[in-house]
Structure 1
Amino acid sequence: MIITVTLNLALDVTYQVPGVHWDGVNRVGAVHRRAGGKGVNVARVLAALGRDVLVTGLAGGPTGRAIEADLAAARLPAELYAIAGESRTTLAVSDTSASRRTALFNEPGPEVTPAELAGFLGHYDSLLTGADAVVLSGSLPRGLPADAYATLAAVAAGRGVPAIVDADGDALRHAPEGRPAILKPNAEELARAVPGGTPAEGAQALRGRGADAVVVSMGADGLLAVTGEGTFAARMPYTVRGNPTGAGDSLVAGLALGLVEPGPWPERLRRAAALGAAAVATPVAGEFDPGVYADIHPQIIIT
């Protein structure tokens, strides 16, 4: 079983529109509303690939109940921890015209108290029994310390469960302290966490602080992985056009599979990169296009 932790759960709303008029009225062609947050997106991809998953995180208020109801409707097993604050809503406006652009509007999320964090830590520790891997991803809600992911990764490591951390800012800078199996920043997040130097140097710096491996997603330029087996690059054979929202989450799902189905890093990277590309071809985060995955997977070049 793979546990995904989303501390800042959301109700994701996606508007598909045939062009955006910022100074006028926009007619929405299609609306999608469902439980979201990076860990939920990872869980959806893993479930679609046939893996046993468990979603956990912090949820509160009517929006939190809507998130829980949608997870149940999607048959995604969940053990959420209730808080007093209202869970957030995110909005993605996806242009379906030739431009194929997407704008994201993310609310900050609830204020979490120290007592609620302590309660969640006990809840989380109890869920680790029987877990094969943990995915810790997304933003931190207000009130949580910057080292929250480091703490959760360290708890998992103490139970012999490898963890992946996908975070930004101070949460990413502190994450290596928890000795996660994998850190997965994108290129911009890495540059903010380790200013100056090349992506390889930044990744090596994070690995030197405690992470077993650092995988950097670089959009159309593919992936860079600094690992105990060496440094690898995955180059994409072509660019997939569409909605990049959730591409990183599909990539993380592929990396999580690599923790529970051990294999050489080149093959783990190829699968993760292909899943990320296949997610771009779908309009909603948490999904991937099997046809794109099957086509691009064998063409990805690993050096």
Structure 2
Amino acid sequence: MIVTVTPNPALDLTWHVDRLETGETHRADAGVSRAGGKGLNVARVAAAHAPVLALTTAGGTTGAEFAADLAASGVPHRLVPVLAPTRRSIAIVDRAAGDTTIINERGSNPSDTEWGALIAEVVEAMPGASVLVVSGSLPPGAPPSLLPVLITIGRDAGVPVIVDTSGAALLVAAEASATVLKPNAAELADATGLTDPLEGARALIARGVELVLLSLGADGMLAVTATEAHHASLDSALSGNPTGAGDSAVAACAVLYEAGERDIEQVLRRATSWSAAAVLMPLAGDIHESWPELESRLTISPYPRED
């Protein structure tokens, strides 16, 4: 079973507009609200391919809407009630430009007691877990020990721990020996101070990480270990909503790890195809059914390229 933890969940609000113009008034069809946050997006995608349990918090009126949508989704989950309202994340999809503008509320920090209740849920889930995913931002003021504690729970249970986060938390996760980290290029450079993606990935591996999956946007994805580095790219760029692309890559990695697959090229191939398939969907947390065809169009090569 894949257990996902979302420390900073959000009620995702998505609108599609013909063209987004700064300072102008826009008209759009009714928006869509969905229980989100990176870990829940991972759980939604993975649930079609493996047993999943999503763990997170919910609070306030937005939390009630969040909980109702999650219950309707059919994704197995447990929610820890918190006093602070669940934050909102707003995505505006520009049809003309083929891109998305996102505004994320920062979120509110649960109390120590509420954090303790979430950690207790993670501990309780570990006997049935084969992979632990900790995904998304941390709310301002979150305990510095939160990520190391969660990673240690997974490692002590003997399961791989996949972490997708950013900023200083990325280095904290590496120091705590997360099994897999999944940053994007900007997050990696921000955390390590290194602009070369291979150097940045190897800097994380030197801290104790086994595999770095590095999203490069339209330029594909890298998979880097201590001894190997491979690049995956699609034969043509896709337009759409990239909001959940990284989450779908994490889901692919988790599903393969749950099945016992550790081949770096196979993980990279599946992660890249699911990431691309997510761009074709209107909402984060879904992948297009054409992902096998997209996977067949990928080029996998050593990185840096050997000429």
TM-score, length basis structure 2: 0.93
Does residue 240 (structure 1) correspond to residue 238 (structure 2)? The answer is yes
Q: Which amino acid counterpart does residue 265 of structure 1 have in structure 2?
A: I
Runs (4+) of structure 1 moved beyond 6 Å? none
- Superposed, which structure 2 residues align to 1:117-196 within 5 Å? 117-196=115-194
- Quick one: which of 104, 107, 113 aligns to 2:105? 107
Q: CA deviation at 1:58?
A: 2.0
> How many angstroms does 1:113 deviate by?
1.9
Deviates more, 1:68-77 or 1:22-31: 22-31
SS at match of 1:128: helix
Aligned residues: 300
Residue from 201, 205, 209 that aligns with 1:211:
209
Displacement of 1:239: 0.8
Letter of the 1:92 partner, please give it.
A
- Output one character per residue of 1:93-140: Cα deviation in whole Å (capped at 9) or x when no partner: 1122x2122111111112222232223222211111201101111110
Tell me if the contact between 1:148 and 1:171 (Cα under 8 Å) persists in the aligned partners.
no
Q: CA deviation at 1:41?
A: 0.7
Q: Which residue of 2 aligns with 1:63?
A: 62
**AA partner of residue 102 (structure 2):** L
Contact map agreement 1:2 1:133 (CA 8 A) in 2? yes
1:153-196 deviation per Cα after TM superposition (whole angstroms, max 9, x unaligned):
11110011211000000111100122111011100000011112
- C-alpha separation between the residues in 2 aligned to 1:151 and 1:207? 20
Is the contact made by 1:112 and 1:142 (CA closer than 8 Å) also made in structure 2? no
Structure 2, unaligned runs of 5 or more:
302-307
Instruction: Give ranges in structure 1 of 5+ residues lacking alignment.
Output: none
Question: Alpha carbon RMSD of aligned pairs, Å?
Answer: 1.5
**Secondary structure of the equivalent of 1:156?**
helix
Give the aligned residue type for 1:212.
Answer: E
Q: Is the 8 A contact 2:205 2:226 kept in 1?
A: no
User: Does residue 1:38 correspond to 2:44, yes or no?
Assistant: no
**Residue 264 of structure 1 aligns to which amino acid in structure 2?**
D
Deviation readout 1:250-294 (Å, 9 max, x if unpaired): 111111122112142111110110000011111111111112x12
Q: Could you tell me how far apart the structure 1 residues matched to 2:25 and 2:196 are?
A: 44
Q: Which digits, 9 at most, give the CA deviation of each residue in 1:57-79, with x for residues without a partner? A: 12211211221111110111111
| 1:228 to partner: Cα distance | 4.9
Kept in 2, the 8 Å contact 1:60–1:82? The answer is: yes
Residue 253 of structure 1, aligned match among 251, 268, 274: 251
* Identity across the alignment (%): 41
Distance 1:156 1:14 in 2: 33
For the residue of structure 1 that corresponds to 2:229, the secondary structure is strand
Matching residue's letter, 1:52: P
**272-281 or 252-261, larger mean C-alpha shift:** 252-261
Q: Distance in 2 between matches of 1:60 and 1:46?
A: 25
C-alpha separation in 2, matches of 1:29 and 1:278: 24
Q: Distance in 2 between matches of 1:23 and 1:200?
A: 40
Partner residue, 2:275? 276
Question: Residues 113 and 143 of structure 1 are in contact (CA less than 8 Å); yes or no, is this contact kept in structure 2?
Answer: no
Q: Indicate if the aligned counterparts of 2:202 and 2:226 stay in contact, CA closer than 8 A.
A: no
Deviation at 1:197, TM superposition (A): 4.9
Deviation at 1:302, TM superposition (A): 1.5
Q: Which whole-Å CA distance do the structure 1 matches of 2:275 and 2:145 have between them?
A: 27
